[in-house]
Chains A and B, each alone.
Chain A
Amino acid sequence: MNVNANSVQRADFTAIAAWVKPGSRVLDLGCGDGTLLRYLKERRNISGYGVEIDDESVLACVRNGVSVVQNDLERGLSGFEDGSFDYVILSQTLQLVRSSERVIREMLRVGREGIVTFPNFGYWRNRVQVLVGRMPVSDNLPYQWFETPNIHLCTIRDFEEFCRGHGVRILERIVMRNGSTVGLLPNLRGSLAVYRFEKAR
C-alpha cells in the first residue's frame, strides 16, 4: 500500500526512530517493503509486524527479514488485540486510505500510541502550484493528478483539527522539509508532518 516506500531511507524514519523506545512492540501499517521496520529493528531493537496488502511488498518484507501480515487496512485490524502494541505507525499511508477515521481509531485501539506521517498539502510550494492553476507535484507528492493513489491529502491544520474532533491527543509533532526540521510557520514551510499521539483521556 505504501507506494512511497523504497529502499532509500526517508526523512521521517529518523524522527520516528527517535521517538520509539528501545525494545518496544511496533505495528507498521502499510509497511511497504519493510524498510522502516528493519530500520527500527536495527536501531531500536524493536519487535513487531508490518501490515501490507500488496503481494510484491509482502515478498519484499520476507526478503528484508521483516514479519508481515497480508491484510487490507480498510477492513480494520481485527486480527490484533486491543493495546497489544506500544506503537502503531502509519508512515506516508494516511493519504492513501479510504477510511482514514477508522484507521486512526483502529491504531489507537491496537496500540498505546500512534505515529503518523504525511505530506503536508499546505506546504507553500503546493499552494503556489494550486494558485497558478496546477495540481501540486513535488518530492513528497510525486504523482500527476491522473496517476496519484493519494485520495485523502490534508494540511497540518486539517490534521490537527481532525485530532481535536476525534478524541486524539497529539503528544509530539515534527515538521520537516528536505530532511531538516521546520520551526516557524510549519503549515507553510513544512513539506512533511510527523505526529505521535494517543487516545484523549
Chain B
Amino acid sequence: MDTGIDVRSVGVVTPRTARFSEPLRLKSGAVIDRYELVYETYGRLNADRSNAVLVCHALNASHHAAGFYAEDAQEVGWWDNMIGPGKPVDTNRFFVIGVNNLGGCHGSTGPKSVNPATGKPWGAEFPVVTVEDWVAAQARLADHLGIGQFAAVMGGSLGAMQSLAWTVSFPGRIRHALVIACAPNLSAQNIAFNEVARQAIITDPDFHGGHYYERGTTPKRGLRVARMVGHITYLSDDVMAAKFGRQLRHGRPTYSFDADFEIESYLRHQGIKFSEYFDANTYLRITKALDYFDPAFEHRGDLTRALAPATAKFLVISFTTDWRFSPERSREIVKALLDNHREVTYAEIDAPHGHDAFLLDDPRYHRLVAAYFDRIGAEAGA
C-alpha cells in the first residue's frame, strides 16, 4: 500500500524548547535577558559527540527541517529532501539539529512572544537581530545539547550566511561549513528588494507601528506584497518563462485588474499563503539581518581579512541561474578562503531554478553534498 510517506524520511518528529536565562548581548547593543529556542533533532549523537550537524534556516523556514508531525503528515520539513536516512545528510550517521532563530515566529522568542518586562508582546520593541546574534544563540543551544564542536554547520542563502559566520565567530567549534547559494553581503539591488518588502508591511494600515497584536490585526496585505516581491527574486527568468510564460488563466484577456496571467495568480497565491502563517515583525527583522550581514565591514571591506580567523573546511556551492546571490558572489567567498589558504571546494551547479535551487533535489547538487558528508562522516568516525 502506498502510504505516501517517504521511506527515507526521519519520520515523526517533535519540536523541543530550550530555555536560556543568561542575557544575550546583541550586536546592536540591546540585551535579551531570557529567551527560548525551539529546535528539532534527527538521528543520534554518537558517543564522542563528533557527528553533530547544525542546519540553519533562511528567510521563511524554521527549525522543522526534516520529517513530519504526528498530527499532520503533510507538514514535511523544509529540507526533507536533503536530510534523512540514506539522504545526503544521512541521519543514520549524523545527529542533525534544526533551530528556529531568535526573533523568529515559529516558537523561538520573537516579536510575538511576551516581553517579561511589560507582560505584553514585544512587537515593535523586539530588537533588531543579526546573523552573528543568531549564531551566538545557536552556540548556546549547542552548549545546552552538550555539543562542543559541530562536524558541520550548513545552510542555504541566509542560512549559509550563518554557517559562514560560525566559522569566524566560533572557529574552534565547527569543522566543516557548507555555504550554499550565499553572498558575502547583499548588493544594493538586494537591499532594495528587501526595502520594498519592508515598506509594503510598514505602510499597511493594519501594521500599527508593529503593535498590531494588541489591535487584533495582521498586516496581511503588506506581507503578501513582501512575499510576492521576494518570490520573484528567488526564481530565474527562464524558470518563470517555462512555468508560466504569458499563459492566461481564462484563455483570453479580461481587460480588468483580475489575475489574468498565470504568474499573477501564482504570486497572489504565494503571498496569501505566506501572510497566513508568517509574522510581519519577524519578516522585517529577518530582512534587516540579511541587509546588515557583511563580515568584511569591520575590515574596511577586506573579506580575506574578515575570514582570516576561520579554520573550518568549506564546501561552497552556487547555482548558475541564481541572480539574487549569483555565482560571482560565491566566488568572492572562495577567493577570500583561497587567500587565507583554507581548504575549500567550490562547485557551480548548472541548474535552471534560480536562487530556489538550493531547496530542490537536483541530482548533481545532492550527490556532491552526499559525497562531502561521506568525507565528514569518515573523519568523524560516524
Interface residues of A (CB under 8 A from B): 25, 47, 49, 55, 58-59, 61-63, 65, 67-71, 79-81, 84
Majority DSSP secondary structure for residues of B touching A: helix
* Contact B338–A70 (Cβ < 8 Å): no
| A67-B345, A68-B345, A69-B344 known; A79+B335 contact, CB < 8 A | yes
* Residues of chain B lying within 8 A (CB to CB) of residue A49: 338, 344
Complex-state Cα separation, A47 to B313, whole angstroms: 13
B354-372 toward A: CB 8 Å interface, digit per residue (1/0)?
A: 0000000000100110011
List, in ascending order, chain B residues with CB within 8 A of A63's CB: 371, 374-375
Interface flags, B334-347, vs A, CB<8A=1, else 0: 11001101011111
Taking a contact as CB atoms under 8 Å apart, the answer to whether A59 and B368 are in contact is yes
B262 touches A (CB below 8 Å): no
Assess whether B338 is in contact with A80, with CB atoms less than 8 Å apart. Answer: yes
Taking the nearest CB of chain B, how far is it from the CB of A105, in angstroms? 19
Interface size counted on chain B using CB atoms at 8 A:
22
Q: Which residues of B contact A70 (CB under 8 A)?
A: 346-348
Q: Please report which residues of chain B, range 60-81, place their CB below 8 angstroms from some CB of chain A when the two chains form the complex.
A: none
Known: A67-B345, A69-B346, A79-B334. A84 touches B368 (CB 8 A): no
Tally of A-B residue pairs with Cβ under 8 A?
Answer: 52
Q: Which residues of A contact B227 (CB under 8 A)?
A: none
| A-B contacts, 14 listed (Cβ < 8 Å) | A55-B349, A55-B350, A59-B371, A62-B315, A62-B372, A63-B371, A69-B338, A79-B331, A79-B334, A79-B335, A79-B338, A81-B339, A84-B338, A84-B339
The residues of B that contact A84 with a CB separation of less than 8 Å are 338-339
Tell me which residues across on chain A come within 8 A of B374, comparing CB atoms: 63
Given A62-B372, A63-B371, A79-B331, answer yes or no on A25-B338 (Cβ-Cβ < 8 Å).
no
- B-chain residues with CB within 8 Å of residue A81 when the two chains form the complex: 338-339
B residues in contact with A58, CB < 8 Å: 345, 347, 368
| In the bound complex, CA of A61 to CA of B315 (Å) | 12
**Chain A residues in 8 Å Cβ range of B341:** 25, 47
The complex places the Cα of A81 from the Cα of B346 at a distance, in Å, of 17
CA distance A63 to B338 in the complex (A): 20
Given contacts A49-B338, A62-B375, 14 further A-B contacts (CB under 8 A): A55-B347, A55-B350, A59-B371, A62-B371, A62-B372, A63-B374, A63-B375, A65-B375, A67-B343, A67-B345, A69-B338, A69-B345, A80-B338, A84-B338
Name, among A55, A68, A70, the residue most crowded by chain B CB atoms within 10 Å (CB to CB).
A70
Q: Are B345 and A62 in contact (CB under 8 A)?
A: yes
Neighbouring A residues of B331 by C-beta, 8 Å: 79
Report B-chain residues with C-beta under 8 Å of the C-beta of A25: 341
Closest chain-B Cβ to A176's Cβ sits at a distance in Å of 31
Cα distance A18–B277 when bound, in Å?
64
Q: How far is the CA of A67 from the CA of B334 in the complex (A)?
A: 12
Given contacts A59-B364, A62-B371, contact A68 B339 (CB under 8 A): no
B contact residues around A67 at 8 Å (CB):
343-345
| Contact pick for B367, options A47, A59, A69, CB 8 Å | A59
Within the complex, the shortest CB–CB distance from A48 to chain B, in Å, comes to: 9
Residues of A contacting B335 with CB < 8 Å?
Answer: 79-80
Within 8 A of A (CB), among B27-71: none
A62 to B365, CA, bound (A): 12
Q: How far is the CB of A46 from chain B (nearest CB, A)?
A: 12
Nearest A residue to B344 via CB reads A67
The B310-342 residues at the A interface (CB cut-off 8 A) are 315, 331, 334-335, 338-339, 341
Q: Distance in Å from the Cβ of A102 to the closest Cβ of chain B? A: 19
How distant is B271 from chain A, measured CB to nearest CB, in Å? 36
Minimum Cβ distance to chain B for residue A78 (Å): 8
Q: Which residues of A contact B338 (CB under 8 A)?
A: 49, 69, 79-81, 84
Contact flag A61-B345 (CB < 8 Å), given A79-B334, A84-B339 = yes
